[in-house]
Amino acid sequence: MSLIQITGQSHPVILDLLYATDKNFTGNVIYKNPLCFLHEKAMPLFEKAILLAEKQGFTLKIFDTFRPKQAAQALWDFCPNPIYVADPQKGSNHTRGVAIDLNLVDKATDLELDMGTPFDDFTENSHHSAVLAPEIAKNRYLLLGIMMSAGWDFYNNEWWHYQLFSPRDYPLIETDYGMM
């Protein structure tokens, strides 16, 4: 098992790895190095999502992928709410390298789609089942359709989070891949 690095040079995506900045829900830098990795089994689905988004006139904007165990612990220490943050004792799908947090950017305008809440908004408005304005619902369904068509599963409480099906089949990854 190995993780594969994603860069702006290796794939036509926008990397906005918010945990490598203080522009995340903790207000602290979590990753020392802004590196992005996915499990090798997730790469074909990721690349299919890129193509499906491009055909619709969008680019994928990635907020987070693989999350080292130390980072998962830091997030849990700040917000020990299992609805939105995985308990590190049980393990996160991000710590398995099989989850991705993202949005779409319109290629014509270079604007991120309005999803009604920002990334890591821990309210019911971030849920897929939230009742939203039609344009926001349309944007969320567009992302959902692209990701599910590419073979990803979704997490109902976070519009930005997608993962491989049966994520617990993948082991937790102990190394930090130079991120921490």
Domain ranges within the chain, ordered by starting residue = 3-166
For residue 113, give Cα distances in angstroms to 41, 69, 175. Answer: 28, 30, 34
Give the list of residues 6+ apart from residue 10 with CB closer than 8 angstroms, or none: none
Enzyme catalytic residues: 158
From the candidate CATH numbers 3.40.50.150, 3.30.70.20, 3.30.1380.10, 3.90.1300.10, the one assigned to the domain spanning 3-166 = 3.30.1380.10
- Average pLDDT, integer, range 22-31: 97
pTM metric for this prediction: 0.97
- Alpha helices, DSSP H, located in the chain: 43-55, 69-78, 134-149
Residue 1 pLDDT > 90: no
Nearest-5° Cα angle at 38, 13 to 162: 75
For residue 154, give Cα distances in angstroms to 14, 142, 146, 167. Answer: 21, 13, 11, 11
Q: Band of the pLDDT at 120, cuts 50, 70, 90? A: very high
Q: Which two tokens stand for residue 124?
A: 């019911």
Q: Band of the pLDDT at 8, cuts 50, 70, 90? A: very high
For residue range 54-102, list pLDDT tens digits in order.
Answer: 999 999 999 999 999 999 999 999 999 999 999 999 999 999 999 999 9
What was the pLDDT predicted at 37?
98
